[in-house]
Structure 1
Amino acid sequence: MSVQLDARPPVAAAPPVRPTRSYRLSRFDARWSPYLYIAPFFLLFAVFGAYPLAYTLWVSLHEWDLLGTDPTFIGAENYTRLLADVDFWHAVVNTLGIFVISTVPQLLAALWLANLLNRQLRARTGWRMAVLVPNVTSTAAVAIVFGVLFGREFGMVNWVLDLAGVDGIDWKANRVASWVAISTMVDWRWTGYNALIFLAAMQAIPRDLYESAAIDGASRARQFWSITVPLLRPTIIFAVIISTIGGLQLFTEPRLFHAGTNAIRGGPSRESQTVTMYMFENAFAPYYNFGYGSAVAWLLFALIAVVAVVNVLIIRRLGTGAGTRPGGRKGGRG
């Protein structure tokens, strides 16, 4: 038995195809261009965010008066001294009091206002633009105007209270009254801003959900609590976090509200001195203790983080249960 061999010569392998320059550029662009696009943010954050944050932590471990002397390492002494400082805790109570009085009504009013602007109103664009006017107004101008409105002798608020038979209030010398006055100022300035954020999120909700709920007989209030609020939960969490950061860093409004020699102290007896004002008082004029002021800043950072996490957990729980009835059934007829 003979075996016939293939007499054809072997086929030579094709030479490898080298990728062209345009192909290599396209691969490089697809893989690395996203990182190049976002690199400027991280570079700026590293220079103006991360480095100052780390440097402030280093400074908080030193004694430094900023007047030409070299910083002296003292460890955690600034923090232990700060935790025993009565004036610091007084400022913390003021900050939390103003934050609660201003932020909670502000977000509720913004949610109601956004729901109102989301309806078919005449001149809706004009109303939506009008609610943003307080936010673009100068903070200094707003603080001066409200300082006059809440004046003790000739303020319009005390004049209205006098018409109602209520004795005038010394808004700048009474602790709780100064909280209310400053909170009113903050609410007036920021409610419209949060309302527009909520309005933008409301307009992204499909209208057929409301139409189906209306066919099922759900009232407007039921639609709001069972459809709008649950679907707005991510936006509400965002607004709560932003309001928490801004509310706990309050400085300009109480500083200008108490115009005069005791402005940085929040009044003669520190009636409305916030943590940021206390930090400025110690880090700069009149004490120039930069290490102690840096310790105040880091404890304020920790306070903001704790309050923000607590608020997010509360909002998540409220948003989860907003669309359910007792027994676990979804909201139907209202």
Structure 2
Amino acid sequence: MTTTKPQTEVPTPSEPPRGRAPLTWRQRLGRLDVKLSPYLYISPFWIVFALVGLFPIVYTAVISFQDWDLVRNTGTFTGFDNFAFVLQDREFWLSLRNTFSIFVLSSVPQIIVATFIAAMLDKNIRAKTFWRMGVLLPYVVAPVAVALIFSNMFGDKYGLINSLLNDIGLDSIRWHVDVIPSHVAIATMVNFRWTGYNALILLAAMQAIPRDLYEAAAIDGANTLRRFFSVTLPQIRPTMIFVIITSTIGGLQIFDEPRMYDTNGRGGSNHQWETITLYLYNMGWGEFNFGRAAAVAWILFLIIVAFGLLNFAITRRFIAGDTAVQPKKPKKVTK
């Protein structure tokens, strides 16, 4: 006796599965909204970035390979001639030296002083809001105003600094003639304006540290200095890396302070404090050679990218604690 299995009906593709109602128009719209709304929310940033960021970068790359005529808005293709001229120009290497010198004199003291100020503001002091506002005030001042004030303070003949040096029996310093003094003066302007800004960023990171860690360290007998290096610095590692990288990028792009340090705006009679951005500006709007200026812009862009990656690797290794010795894996024992 043979038995036959009952045949089950297979729903046709046009029919929805049994037991599940078809999606309504509102449900389909809701699913589409969940999938596309995140991209819609971040689209304004990418649209603005494409217009004011990506397009100028690509357009500058096109101009850097041409002998560009600004009046006709056309150019003649010259290949790598603009890059070759810039790399063989002695003034470019002087500006590169000046940029790195001012960057070191400004970024290193700036980060150290900003960390110290943030640590002081993190203490239980009176009038915290007043001191925090006072620290941020130099950042609000216009860069041109800061440059004009400090350029007069560091004047060679009638500057405030030289007057104080003469009052105590010291010789005047040629702030606008010698290389190192001019770099120190410009770095002082940068430190005055940006130290408070970085201090508040580091302070925000310090405020997020759980106070239980400090109490546990104090119970273990750690003093204030020990708690700072063992608790505070390890806890603000990501913020410290951010501050160092942004200071590096900003230090390599410095323009306002050296431009306004002297009336001629050429970076000194012998290019004592001419930075790469000032060299780029003089090449473009001084000599109206926009092809070579675009080449300088791309060289600076590559330098900033390389320096930023190197700085990120170094800070991540030494600040983020990647230098810790990893435990060795046990060897397999073979019988």
Would you say same fold, with TM above 0.5? yes
Shift of 1:22: 1.9
Answer whether contact 2:122 2:203 (CA < 8 A) is retained: yes
Inter-partner Cα distance in structure 2 for 1:218 and 1:327: 26
Instruction: Measure the CA separation in 2 of the matches of 1:80 and 1:63.
Output: 13
Q: Give, in whole Å, the separation in 2 of the partners of 1:322 and 1:199.
A: 24
Separation in 2, partners of 1:256, 1:220: 42
| In 2: Cα distance, 1:308 partner to 1:323 partner | 20
1:244 is matched with which residue? 248
Q: Aligned partners of 1:199, 1:250: CA distance in 2, in Å?
A: 25
In the TM superposition, what whole-angstrom CA distance separates every residue of 1:187-230 from its partner, at most 9, and x where no partner exists?
A: 01100000000000111111111111110011111111111112
CA deviations on 1:61-110 (whole Å, 9 max, x unpaired) are 00114233730101111111111110000000000000000000001100
Q: Distance in 2 between matches of 1:2 and 1:71?
A: 90
2:269 counterpart of 1:268: yes
CA-to-aligned-CA distance 1:24-72 (integer Å, 9 cap, x gap):
1211111110000001111111111111101100100001142337301
Q: Given that residues 202 and 232 in structure 1 are in contact (C-alpha distance below 8 angstroms), is that contact kept between their aligned partners in structure 2?
A: yes
Q: Greater CA deviation, 127-136 or 69-78? A: 69-78
In the other structure, the counterpart of 1:296 is 296
Give secondary structure in 2 for the equivalent of 1:71: strand
Corresponding position of 1:107: 111
2:244 corresponds to which letter in structure 1?
A: V
Give the counterpart letter for 2:279 in structure 1: Y
Q: Distance in 2 between matches of 1:327 and 1:223?
A: 25
Please show how residues 116-131 of structure 1 align to structure 2 within 5 Å: 116-131=120-135
Deviation by residue 1:243-283 (Cα, 9 ceiling, x = unmatched): 11111111111111112xx31x2111111011001001111
Question: What percentage of residue pairs aligned between the two structures are identical?
Answer: 46
How far 1:111 sits from its partner (Å)?
0.5
Q: How does 1:18-37 map to 2 (within 5 A)?
A: 18-37=22-41
The TM-score with structure 2 as length reference comes to 0.89
Question: What secondary structure, in the 3-state scheme, does the structure 2 residue paired with 1:72 have?
Answer: strand
Which residue identity lines up with residue 314 of structure 1 in the other structure? I
Question: Hey, what does 1:142 align to over in structure 2?
Answer: 146
Other structure's SS at 2:74 match: coil
> What is the CA–CA distance in structure 1 between the aligned matches of 2:51 and 2:323, rounded to whole Å?
45
Residue 187 (structure 1) aligned with residue 178 (structure 2)? no
1:232 to 213, 221, 236: 236
- Aligned residue-pair number: 320
Structure 1: 4+ residue segments shifted above 6 A = none
**Amino acid aligned to 1:89:** W
**1:151 partnered with 2:152:** no
Aligned to 1:277: 278
User: Cα RMSD over matched residues?
Assistant: 2.5
- 2:238/2:320 contact within 8 Å kept: no
Provide the rounded CA distance (Å) in 2 between the counterparts of 1:70 and 1:133. Answer: 45
